[in-house]
Chain A
């Protein structure tokens, strides 16, 4: 007798995608996907213009990071093809939005990444701007040097950069990141 396992998409829908999830995407972050999601962000967040701008900017930086740096890519005909694969979630809460991303990174790169995040979270706003200016100053020797995307995300966000590195196996770890963007400037200043 053959047993068929049926995934209940409805169960998945309820457990993974909450009521307040605006965007949920797992896949390759190619240019068209980034464009579609970015247009969607601009359309859906119209009621909170200042937050909309920040969420848009944060999204572009994080999406580009996944596209360039994710260790996971599609292999078609034995060739690595296309943009990096990752996960993106944007949730809406009463007073703020949360942007979350996740992607695989090679273990050899994870220490540098963890160190970068640690540095970013140790700095206040002035410190972050100084770090950004310093990094931006450096000539870009390779595509990785002086990437100020994460610094920019930290500057745009209203919360610290919440990051986590989880070892997956001998070669890879899963890097996840969360940041909040407050809807109203007033609330942001009160905290």
Chain B
């Protein structure tokens, strides 16, 4: 199965950096997310994850390193977390962390808590 790599950019829109590794199940979403076609973008991530879940069937580690995301992204991120929760409930190993720079905790605290509440998935906040 191929890795999913999307190069981040920040011109008119803010495209996050995506590195999803099919060999070790390590996935990373980094940077900022404010997109023209948000659903289309995150559907790529969801499709890759579903393929990994059905073909590779091993553990998944997701590290989120987003410093900014708009509300459209928020909805899509919730879908990602829900998908991972579903996979976890099937008995697979799933670990999700959100890396936050020291000083930025307050801004993202509530967002992360709300994702946890909405998805039922534990997201560990890691302060750099």
Interface residues of A (CB under 8 A from B): 31-32, 34-35, 50, 53, 56-57, 60-61, 64, 129, 132-133, 136-137, 140, 146-149, 152, 155, 185
Contacts and interface: CB of A to CB of B under 8 A. Distances in A.
Contact of B71 (A34, A53, A137, A147): A147
Contacts of A155: 110
Interface in B56-109: 68, 70-72, 74-75, 78, 106-107
Contacts, number: 44
27 contacts: A31-B13, A31-B36, A32-B12, A35-B11, A35-B12, A53-B107, A57-B68, A57-B70, A60-B34, A61-B71, A129-B110, A133-B114, A133-B118, A136-B74, A136-B75, A136-B78, A136-B118, A137-B78, A140-B75, A146-B75, A147-B71, A148-B74, A148-B75, A149-B71, A152-B71, A152-B74, A185-B106
Given A35-B11, A133-B118, A136-B118, A61 B70 contact: yes
Nearest to B82: A137
Interface residues of B, number: 18
Interface of B: 11-13, 34, 36, 68, 70-72, 74-75, 78, 106-107, 110, 114, 117-118
Contacts of B106: 50, 185
Given A32-B12, A57-B68, A133-B117, 4 more contacts: A57-B70, A64-B72, A137-B78, A152-B74
A128 B107 CA distance: 16
A129 B11 CA distance: 31
Nearest to A147: B71
